[in-house]
Structure formats: structure tokens, C-alpha cells
């Protein structure tokens, strides 16, 4: 096989993988969103409150020649922040299923990926295989999103996701360095998880999906709009919350300033 034929075969193979995966993801997301809408309607009619949904996240920390790019404890605050944002805004708990440190040095293209359309091109050419090899190997509803911690992302980007075409995102290690206030940003991991769950950018800087965030003084907000919450709740990666078998009217709200009723209603 000639070099040109090998490249063509790689491109065709990558295109087939991406298109096939994207179509499967789109079909699953449409089905889960429809089911989510039906559940929300039923919940409103029955006046019941479902438990929180769950988003499972696997973290992979790469290493360079000097060792791991960061430690698991460095990433934990950003995971906790993502949990706080998603749970308060959309009723979704972020559950880390693993935080793995890859001991051997990763190749240069994995440590320093390109971003956006160029990262999609690299995925097409098979250059992102290093990320895919560490995915948990699950598929379908409830499969985890993998967060890969890399050394540096090309340009001024500190995180990148390919949306529904990939089940992984990349985040730059400097985001988790508390000793550097000019790079430390807990919002980026949650932002990239939002992209992985099909959320596009938003023009409001108070919104979690605002494109840019510049610590320490201009960190993006954490708000989510109603349609964004609907998209998140209907994504294939999100495990729906359990519905209580007990239905009917909710208990009356406690009167303001009534400690006994307030305590009973919590």
C-alpha cells in the first residue's frame, strides 16, 4: 500500500467512525430528550419531584517526561464546582467514576492538542486515538464523559470538546494550578462538560457557556437558561433521576417565620 493510499484509508476510516458515532449519538439524544420531556410533563401533572439525575465523569491525567501534569487532588475542586453548578442549575449530580494518572509519557500530539476545527481534523486522521484508548468502554445512555488533562492546547484555548462527535473533552493542566491565579479556573471543566452534553456557546457572560473566561478577574458565570437545562437533562450521558412511587399533592409550603414547619419541610 502506498503512503497516499494509507492516508486515504485512514481518512475514510476516521470519517466513518465520526459520522457513524455522531448519527448514533444524535438518534439516542433525540430519543432521550423526548423521554425526558414526557417525564417532565408527567412530573408536573402528578406534582412529584424526581431525584437528581446523574452525569458520570472519568478523568485521565496525562504525563510528560517530567511526570504527571497534575495530581488527582488538583482536579477535585473543579469536579466539585461542576457538581455544584449542574446540580443547582439543572438537577444533575456530577459523579466522578475514576481519576486515573497515566504514568508513561504521552506523545507530543496528545500532550499539546490543537483546538476546535483542527482538533476535529485530527480526530478524523486518527490522532486522537490516545484519548479514546482511556475511555471506560461503555456506550449508550449513562455512559461517562472522559476528561483528559493535557499539557497545553494550541492558541488561547484552555479546554475543548467535539460535542456529540466524541465522548471525551480536553482540559489544560494549568487550569487546576491553584498557585497560579492567572490560569486557575474551575469553570472550564463544567463548561466543556456542557459542550459534551450538546450545549453551544452563549453570548451572556453570566452564562456557563460564555466562550471566554479570564481569571482571576473575568471568570465566566454559572447560569443556565431553561432550554439549556432541557438539553442537559435529555442528553444520552445523563442518567435520569428516580421517580417516587408516592404521587399526589405536595405538602403545603411552610409559613414564613415558622421554625417548626420549616424544619419539617426540609
Q: What is the pLDDT of residues 35-77, one digit of tens each?
A: 666 666 776 676 767 678 999 999 999 999 999 999 999 999 9
**126 CB-near residues (< 8 Å, 6+ apart):** 10, 13, 14
What is 3-239's CATH number? 3.40.390.10
Whether 215 and 190 have beta carbons less than 8 Å apart is answered as: no
C-alpha cell at 246: 408516592
Task: Return the closest-CA partner of residue 92 out of 102, 82, 107.
Answer: 82
Q: Checking DSSP bridges between strand 145-150 and strand 168-172, what pairing results, if any?
A: parallel
For the chain, the structural domain boundaries read 3-239
Cis peptide before 216 (omega within 30 of 0): yes
C-alpha cell at 103: 504514568
Whole-angstrom distance, CA of residue 191 vs CA of residue 163 = 12
What stretches in the chain show pLDDT beneath 50?
245-266
pLDDT at site 266: 30
Q: How many helices (H) and strands (E) does the chain have?
A: 8, 7
pLDDT at site 138: 76
pLDDT at site 2: 74
Whole-angstrom distance, CA of residue 150 vs CA of residue 261 = 51
Whether 226 and 212 have beta carbons less than 8 Å apart is answered as: no
C-alpha cell at 72: 488527582
What is the pTM assigned to this prediction?
0.80
pLDDT at site 252: 43
Amino acid at each position: 500500500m502506498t503512503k497516499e493510499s494509507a492516508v486515504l484509508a485512514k481518512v475514510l476510516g476516521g470519517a466513518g467512525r465520526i459520522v457513524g458515532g455522531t448519527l448514533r449519538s444524535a438518534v439516542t439524544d433525540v430519543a432521550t430528550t423526548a423521554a425526558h420531556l414526557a417525564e417532565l410533563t408527567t412530573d408536573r401533572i402528578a406534582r412529584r419531584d424526581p431525584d437528581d439525575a446523574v452525569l458520570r465523569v472519568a478523568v485521565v491525567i496525562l504525563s510528560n517526561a517530567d511526570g504527571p501534569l497534575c495530581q488527582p487532588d488538583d482536579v477535585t475542586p473543579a469536579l466539585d464546582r461542576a457538581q455544584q453548578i449542574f446540580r443547582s442549575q439543572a438537577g444533575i449530580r456530577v459523579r466522578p467514576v475514576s481519576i486515573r494518572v497515566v504514568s508513561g509519557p504521552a506523545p507530543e500530539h496528545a500532550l499539546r492538542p490543537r483546538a476546535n476545527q483542527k482538533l476535529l481534523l485530527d480526530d478524523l486522521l486518527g490522532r486522537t486515538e490516545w484519548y479514546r484508548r482511556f475511555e471506560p468502554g461503555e456506550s449508550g445512555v449513562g455512559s461517562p464523559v472522559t476528561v483528559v488533562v493535557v499539557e497545553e492546547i494550541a492558541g488561547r484555548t484552555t479546554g475543548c470538546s467535539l460535542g456529540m462527535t466524541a465522548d471525551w473533552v480536553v482540559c489544560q493542566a494549568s487550569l487546576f494550578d491553584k498557585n497560579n491565579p492567572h490560569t486557575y479556573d474551575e469553570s472550564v471543566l463544567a463548561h466543556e462538560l456542557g459542550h459534551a452534553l450538546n450545549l453551544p456557546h452563549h453570548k451572556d457572560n453570566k452564562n456557563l457557556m460564555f466562550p471566554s473566561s479570564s481569571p482571576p478577574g473575568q471568570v465566566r458565570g454559572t447560569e443556565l437558561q431553561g432550554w439549556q437545562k432541557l438539553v442537559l437533562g435529555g442528553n444520552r450521558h445523563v442518567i435520569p433521576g428516580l421517580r417516587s412511587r408516592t404521587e399526589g399533592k405536595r405538602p403545603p409550603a411552610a409559613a414564613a417565620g415558622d421554625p417548626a414547619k420549616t424544619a419539617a419541610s426540609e
